[in-house]
Amino acid sequence: MRTRRDFIERVAAYGGSATAVLTALDLLEPASASAPLALEGSGRGTRVIILGAGVAGLCSAYELGKAGYDCTVLEARERPGGRVWTVRTGTRHVESDGSAQTAAFPEGAYFNPGPARVPQHHVTMDYYREFGVPIEQFANVNLNAYYFSSQGSAELQRVRMREAKYAIAGYTAELLAKAVSQSALDTPLTREDKEKLLDFLAANGGLNKAYAYVNDGAAGFSELPAAGNQAGTPADPLDLMSLIRGGFGAYFQNEREFNQQPVMFQPVGGIDALPYAFARRLRERVRYGCAVTEIRKTPGGVRVAYTGIRGRSESIEGAYCICTIPLPVLRTIPADFSPNVRASMNRVAYMDSAKIALAFKRRFWEEDDRIMSGISRTDQTIAQIWYPSYGFFGRSGGVLTGAYATGAAARTIGDLAPRDRSELALRQGAAIHPQYGDEFLSAFSVAWQKTPHNMGAWVAWTPETRKNDYPVLSEPDGAIYLAGEHMSYINAWQAGALESARDVVRRLHARVRAA
Ligand code: PHE
């Protein structure tokens, strides 16, 4: 039981506003995953060396800088952002096997090979607001996009998402309705409960009076409603067994994930808007083209050696180090990590992932297929086709993400030369969009497991490594703290990197103040 005094104290603790009253009563859900970052006191005079200018490193430098810390960020690339990267015409990419590509896109088109969508509840949104980064909606789910199953029957390979989605929902409701009517369910339902449940199933599944699935139009029309005598004809429902055998149901998992639910957002003009917003504020605190070659513990903290201007070896010292270098790269750098930290680092696995951008002369997906943004899915190696959520009806064509694969499919793509990746994406994608052949302009692909300074897409914790190794890597090793998406429970998201940075900043600051 909550006492009056307890309640008043809680309201006071939250600042006494109407929001505070609701929060104290537990009537509001948490607005964000972690508390606001308000560092009390100054870190003036404390030098922190930050390794990596991805969003974790940039956020660490930015937040510590607010509290007066003296931060230097070393970045191997010539740009900020790390995986938070936008490819535009002229962007060059060289993978670890030496294969080189240069992007050539239609005017105004871009491609985000890494992160490309942001859920509303992520801390990423707070930084967009803080920096005034313009954002727009990103369509993750478009029921007018396609599912394509290569295992499907000849008649049932390419379907609109709404056809598969509502047929599966309808047949499931139909089966359940049958079970309820026949009292086949071992539940204590009264007659009234049963009627209510049947009503609910009928409404939700689009069932007729006999509780059979019929397409009421939700699954699409064979003739669209218009004027005159054109009332519209709902398409015949897809056949349940064909849907099941074609594996169409398997594609629905993604959109039911907490982090993938509509609506989602993207910065206008490219996902790199956030790293550039950080970088503009940090200015010369970020040193580009500086690849870390050694990380050493010293009596006073840390010394980091790096390859600086014209390949010259340089070094820098600090009281603390925040290291955001992805583990597949970090474990190859000579460093004074404790044996247990090194052992944990070596056990953690990373995911492989690849995307292939395809530039086209014409926005045929919009003109011919009426697919305005969203994602088509398929069981082929390319896995997904993403239609741009910007530049609608653009006259100079556009860029699709013609493949977005993870795991084994990403390895298949990654092992190919860029030209063969493009050929694969065109061949498989043409089964969904026969227009591919006529409209193709150019391709640009990124396999993260072969991308220097990453050598992996994102961390892949297993129950064992999360239990045994995550806690080890979460503790500072002397003056060295690890940060990045891998050091969070929001893996493969910018929010994981940002939350991890904020967590390390909080802990480092508490330690400095206690010292
Ligand atoms: N965040 C990435 C994406 O949205 C990777 C990811 C995919 C993470 C699916 C979770 C689920 O594509």
pLDDT in tens, 346-371: 999 999 999 999 999 999 999 999 99
Instruction: Convert the pLDDT of each residue in 427-471 to its tens digit.
Output: 999 999 999 999 999 999 999 999 999 999 999 999 999 999 999
The DSSP bridge partners found for residue 48 are 71, 320
- How far is residue 457's CA from residue 85's CA, in Å, rounded to a whole number? 13
Helix (H, G, I), strand (E, B) or coil at 98: coil
- How far is residue 371's CA from residue 366's CA, in Å, rounded to a whole number? 5
Largest CA distance in the chain: 86
Hey, which of 112, 122, 259 would you mutate to test ligand 1's pocket, going by the most ligand atoms within 8 Å of its Cβ?
A: 259
- How far is residue 514's CA from residue 62's CA, in Å, rounded to a whole number? 22
Mean pLDDT over residues 185-195, rounded? Answer: 85
Domains and CATH numbers, the chain: 1-32 (no CATH), 47-75+273-348+461-514 (3.50.50.60), 92-145+262-271+351-450 (3.90.660.10), 160-246 (1.20.1440.240)
Residue closest via CA to ligand 1's atom 4 equals 117
Picking from 159, 145, 351, the residue whose alpha carbon sits closest to that of residue 255 is 145
Q: Give the pocket of ligand 1 (CB within 6 Å).
A: 117, 257, 259, 492-493
**If pLDDT is split at 50, 70 and 90, which confidence band does 152 have?**
confident
Mean pLDDT over residues 121-140, rounded? Answer: 97
- How far is residue 230's CA from residue 224's CA, in Å, rounded to a whole number? 8
Query: What torsion do the CA atoms of 388, 393, 397, 403 make, to the nearest 10 degrees?
Result: 20
Share of the chain above pLDDT 70, in %: 94
- DSSP string covering 219-262: T-EEE---STT---EEPPPPPHHHHHHTTGGGGGHHHHSGGGPS
**If pLDDT is split at 50, 70 and 90, which confidence band does 296 have?**
very high
Residue closest via CA to ligand 1's atom 10 equals 492
> Is a pLDDT exceeding 50 seen at residue 17?
yes
Instruction: Convert the pLDDT of each residue in 241-286 to its tens digit.
Output: 888 888 887 777 788 899 999 999 999 999 999 999 999 999 999 9
Q: pLDDT value at position 216? A: 94
16: which DSSP letter? S
Q: At what angle do helices 123-131 and 273-282 cross, to 10 degrees?
A: 60
| Residues 86 and 272 sit within 8 Å (Cβ to Cβ) | yes
Helix (H, G, I), strand (E, B) or coil at 491: coil
Query: pTM for this one?
Result: 0.93
- How far is residue 58's CA from residue 280's CA, in Å, rounded to a whole number? 10
Q: pLDDT value at position 253? A: 75
Mean pLDDT over residues 188-217, rounded? Answer: 93
Mean pLDDT over residues 481-489, rounded? Answer: 98
H or E element, residue 445: strand 440-447
Q: pLDDT value at position 460? A: 98
Distance 49 CA to ligand 1 centre (A): 30
Distance 492 CA to ligand 1 centre (A): 6
Higher pLDDT: 168 or 53? It is 53
Residue closest via CA to ligand 1's atom 8 equals 492
Q: pLDDT value at position 160? A: 95
Distance 429 CA to ligand 1 centre (A): 21
Helix (H, G, I), strand (E, B) or coil at 181: helix
Share of the chain above pLDDT 90, in %: 85
β-strands 291-298, 286-287 pairing: unpaired
The DSSP bridge partners found for residue 296 are 303
- DSSP string covering 69-87: -EEEEE-SSSSSBTTS--B
Distance 119 CA to ligand 1 centre (A): 11
Picking from 83, 100, 117, 90, the residue whose alpha carbon sits closest to that of residue 449 is 83
Mean pLDDT over residues 205-211, rounded? Answer: 95
Q: pLDDT value at position 1? A: 43
Counting from 1 in the atom list of ligand 1, the atom nearest the Cα of 458 is: 5
Residue closest via CA to ligand 1's atom 2 equals 492
Q: pLDDT value at position 401? A: 98
| Residues 377 and 383 sit within 8 Å (Cβ to Cβ) | yes
Q: pLDDT value at position 503? A: 97
> Is a pLDDT exceeding 60 seen at residue 2?
no
Residue closest via CA to ligand 1's atom 12 equals 115
Residue closest via CA to ligand 1's atom 7 equals 492
Q: pLDDT value at position 288? A: 97
Residue closest via CA to ligand 1's atom 6 equals 492
Helix (H, G, I), strand (E, B) or coil at 234: strand
Higher pLDDT: 31 or 411? It is 411
Distance 379 CA to ligand 1 centre (A): 17
Counting from 1 in the atom list of ligand 1, the atom nearest the Cα of 260 is: 4
Residue closest via CA to ligand 1's atom 5 equals 492
Instruction: Convert the pLDDT of each residue in 72-129 to its tens digit.
Output: 999 999 999 999 999 999 999 999 999 999 999 999 999 999 999 999 999 999 999 9
- How far is residue 103's CA from residue 88's CA, in Å, rounded to a whole number? 6
> Is a pLDDT exceeding 60 seen at residue 14?
no
Hey, which of 251, 255, 261, 493 would you mutate to test ligand 1's pocket, going by the most ligand atoms within 8 Å of its Cβ?
A: 493
Q: pLDDT value at position 186? A: 72
| Residues 354 and 446 sit within 8 Å (Cβ to Cβ) | yes
**If pLDDT is split at 50, 70 and 90, which confidence band does 489 have?**
very high
> Is a pLDDT exceeding 80 seen at residue 419?
yes
Hey, which of 118, 141, 260, 488 would you mutate to test ligand 1's pocket, going by the most ligand atoms within 8 Å of its Cβ?
A: 260
Distance 406 CA to ligand 1 centre (A): 10
Higher pLDDT: 215 or 38? It is 215
The encoded tokens of residue 494 equal 């910018």
Counting from 1 in the atom list of ligand 1, the atom nearest the Cα of 491 is: 8
Q: pLDDT value at position 412? A: 98
Distance 493 CA to ligand 1 centre (A): 7
Q: pLDDT value at position 449? A: 98
H or E element, residue 292: strand 291-298
**If pLDDT is split at 50, 70 and 90, which confidence band does 7 have?**
low
| Residues 432 and 361 sit within 8 Å (Cβ to Cβ) | no
Residues 6+ apart with CB under 8 A from 451: 93, 95, 96
